[in-house]
Chain A
Amino acid sequence: MNQLNLHEGKAEHLRDFPYITELVKLKIQNIQLNSFTVKTNEGIRIGLITEGKFDWVIAGQGYTLFPGDTFLIYPWQEIGSPKGVLDIGALCWISLSPELFDPSGLLQFGAWSSIPESEQRVIGKILAMNKNPVLSRFGAGPQILQRIEHEILQQEIGYRTRVNHLLDELLISLVRHLSKAENFRRDFPQIFSKLEQSLRENLAHPWTVEEMAGLVGLGTTAFTEKVKAFTGFSPLHYLINLRIAEAIKLLRQTKMSLTDIAFDTGFYSSQHFSSTFKKLTGYTPRAYRKTQ
Chain B
Amino acid sequence: MDCILTIDINTSSVRIHAFDLTGEVLGMRKGSYPTFHPQADYSEQDPEQVFITTLYVLKNFINEVIQPQKYKVRALCFCAAMHSVLAVDKNGRPLGNAIIWADNRGIKEAKMLKKSAFRSPIYEATGTPIHPMSPLIKISWMRHQDPERFAQAFKFVSLKEYIVLQLTGEYLIDHSIASSTGLFDIHQLKWNAQALEFAGISPERLSAPVSIFFDEVPLKKEYSKSLGLSSATKVILGSSDGCSATLGSGNIAADRATVTIASSGAVRVASKEILADEKQRFFNYLLAEDYYISGGPTNNVGVVFDWYTQFFGSFNPGQEFEQVRVELLREATQVPAGAKGLLFLPYLLGERAPIWNANARGVYFGLNITHEQKHLLRATIEGILFEMYSIGKLLTDHRSFSSISLTGSYSSIPLFAQILTDIFGLPFNVNTKVDSVALGTALIGLTGMKYYNNLEEASASTHFTETYTPNAQNHELYLRYFEVFERLSGKLEEEFEMIAGLQ
Nearest CB in chain A to that of B29: its residue:
A232
Stretch from A9-17, A109-117, A166-174, A245-253 that touches the partner = A245-253
Most chain A beta-carbon contacts within 10 A, residue among B13, B30, B31, B49 = B49
CA A97 – CA B32 in complex, angstroms?
42
Nearest CB in chain A to that of B221: its residue:
A282
**Interface flags, A239-270, vs B, CB<8A=1, else 0:** 00110111011001100000000000000000
Q: In the assembled complex, which residues on chain B have CB atoms less than 8 Å from the CB atom of A138?
A: none
CA A282 – CA B311 in complex, angstroms?
46
Most chain A beta-carbon contacts within 10 A, residue among B34, B92, B310 = B34
Stretch from B54-62, B185-193, B235-243, B352-360 that touches the partner = B54-62
Q: In the assembled complex, which residues on chain A have CB atoms less than 8 Å from the CB atom of B311?
A: 185
Q: Which of A103-136 contact B (CB under 8 A)?
A: none
CA A136 – CA B306 in complex, angstroms?
26
Whether B52 pairs with A245 at a CB distance below 8 angstroms is: yes
Q: In the assembled complex, which residues on chain B have CB atoms less than 8 Å from the CB atom of A232?
A: 13, 29-32, 57
Whether B34 pairs with A196 at a CB distance below 8 angstroms is: yes
Given A185-B310, A232-B29, A245-B48, A292:B93 Cβ within 8 A: yes
Decide yes or no whether B142 CB sits under 8 A from chain A. Answer: no
Q: Which of B314-340 contact A (CB under 8 A)?
A: 315, 317, 320-321
CA A244 – CA B52 in complex, angstroms?
7
Stretch from B174-182, B223-231, B416-424 that touches the partner = B223-231
Decide yes or no whether B291 CB sits under 8 A from chain A. Answer: no
CA A231 – CA B49 in complex, angstroms?
13
Whether A193 pairs with B34 at a CB distance below 8 angstroms is: yes
Decide yes or no whether B46 CB sits under 8 A from chain A. Answer: yes
Decide yes or no whether A146 CB sits under 8 A from chain B. Answer: no
Whether B55 pairs with A281 at a CB distance below 8 angstroms is: yes
Q: In the assembled complex, which residues on chain B have CB atoms less than 8 Å from the CB atom of A187?
A: 306, 309-310, 321
Decide yes or no whether A63 CB sits under 8 A from chain B. Answer: no
Whether A252 pairs with B91 at a CB distance below 8 angstroms is: yes
Most chain A beta-carbon contacts within 10 A, residue among B13, B55, B56, B309 = B56
CA A233 – CA B30 in complex, angstroms?
8
Q: In the assembled complex, which residues on chain B have CB atoms less than 8 Å from the CB atom of A180?
A: 317
Decide yes or no whether A237 CB sits under 8 A from chain B. Answer: yes
**Interface flags, B420-439, vs A, CB<8A=1, else 0:** 00000000000000000000
Whether B56 pairs with A233 at a CB distance below 8 angstroms is: yes
Whether A241 pairs with B310 at a CB distance below 8 angstroms is: no
CA A241 – CA B225 in complex, angstroms?
20
Q: In the assembled complex, which residues on chain A have CB atoms less than 8 Å from the CB atom of B93?
A: 252-253, 292
Whether A248 pairs with B48 at a CB distance below 8 angstroms is: yes
Assign chain A's interface to a size class.
Answer: 20 to 34
CA A230 – CA B53 in complex, angstroms?
14
CA A76 – CA B49 in complex, angstroms?
36
**Interface flags, B463-484, vs A, CB<8A=1, else 0:** 0000000000000000000000
Decide yes or no whether B214 CB sits under 8 A from chain A. Answer: no
B197 vs chain A, min Cβ distance (A): 32
Question: Which secondary structure dominates where chain A touches chain B?
Answer: helix
B226 vs chain A, min Cβ distance (A): 3
Whether B56 pairs with A241 at a CB distance below 8 angstroms is: yes
**Interface flags, A281-292, vs B, CB<8A=1, else 0:** 111000100001
Whether A280 pairs with B52 at a CB distance below 8 angstroms is: yes
CA A181 – CA B475 in complex, angstroms?
44
Nearest CB in chain A to that of B315: its residue:
A185
Given A244-B52, A245-B46, A282:B31 Cβ within 8 A: no
Decide yes or no whether B148 CB sits under 8 A from chain A. Answer: no
CA A252 – CA B90 in complex, angstroms?
12
Q: In the assembled complex, which residues on chain B have CB atoms less than 8 Å from the CB atom of A280?
A: 52, 55-56, 59, 226
Find A292's partner among B56, B57, B59, B91 (CB 8 Å cutoff): B91
Find B226's partner among A196, A244, A281 (CB 8 Å cutoff): A281
CA A237 – CA B226 in complex, angstroms?
18
Decide yes or no whether B222 CB sits under 8 A from chain A. Answer: yes
Whether B55 pairs with A184 at a CB distance below 8 angstroms is: no
Whether A248 pairs with B310 at a CB distance below 8 angstroms is: no
Q: Which of B206-255 contact A (CB under 8 A)?
A: 222-223, 225-227
CA A252 – CA B31 in complex, angstroms?
24
CA A237 – CA B320 in complex, angstroms?
24
Decide yes or no whether B51 CB sits under 8 A from chain A. Answer: yes
Find B52's partner among A241, A278, A292 (CB 8 Å cutoff): A241
CA A281 – CA B226 in complex, angstroms?
7
A45 vs chain B, min Cβ distance (A): 27
Whether B13 pairs with A245 at a CB distance below 8 angstroms is: no
**Interface flags, B400-430, vs A, CB<8A=1, else 0:** 0000000000000000000000000000000
Q: In the assembled complex, which residues on chain A have CB atoms less than 8 Å from the CB atom of B315?
A: 184-185
Find A281's partner among B29, B222, B317 (CB 8 Å cutoff): B222
Find A230's partner among B32, B223, B226 (CB 8 Å cutoff): B32
Q: In the assembled complex, which residues on chain A have CB atoms less than 8 Å from the CB atom of B55?
A: 280-281
CA A226 – CA B337 in complex, angstroms?
35
Given A187-B321, A245-B49, A282:B91 Cβ within 8 A: no
CA A120 – CA B31 in complex, angstroms?
32
B422 vs chain A, min Cβ distance (A): 29
Q: In the assembled complex, which residues on chain A have CB atoms less than 8 Å from the CB atom of B223?
A: 281-282
CA A244 – CA B53 in complex, angstroms?
10
CA A245 – CA B53 in complex, angstroms?
9
CA A280 – CA B57 in complex, angstroms?
10
Q: In the assembled complex, which residues on chain A have CB atoms less than 8 Å from the CB atom of B46?
A: 245
Q: In the assembled complex, which residues on chain B have CB atoms less than 8 Å from the CB atom of A252?
A: 91, 93
Q: Which of A197-253 contact B (CB under 8 A)?
A: 230-233, 237, 241-242, 244-246, 248-249, 252-253
A130 vs chain B, min Cβ distance (A): 19
CA A233 – CA B29 in complex, angstroms?
10
Whether A241 pairs with B49 at a CB distance below 8 angstroms is: yes
Residues of B within 8 A of A (CB): 13, 29-32, 34, 46, 48-49, 51-53, 55-57, 59, 91-93, 222-223, 225-227, 306, 309-311, 315, 317, 320-321
Q: Name 24 A/B residue pairs within 8 A (Cβ), A-sorted.
A: A186-B310, A187-B321, A188-B320, A232-B30, A241-B52, A241-B53, A241-B56, A244-B52, A245-B46, A245-B51, A248-B51, A249-B48, A252-B91, A252-B93, A253-B93, A278-B226, A279-B226, A280-B55, A280-B56, A280-B59, A282-B222, A282-B226, A283-B222, A283-B226
In addition to A245-B51, A281-B223, 4 A-B residue pairs with Cβ atoms within 8 Å of each other are A186-B310, A188-B320, A193-B34, A231-B13
Q: Which 8 A-B pairs have the closest CB atoms?
A: A282-B226, A187-B321, A282-B222, A232-B31, A245-B49, A245-B48, A232-B30, A245-B52
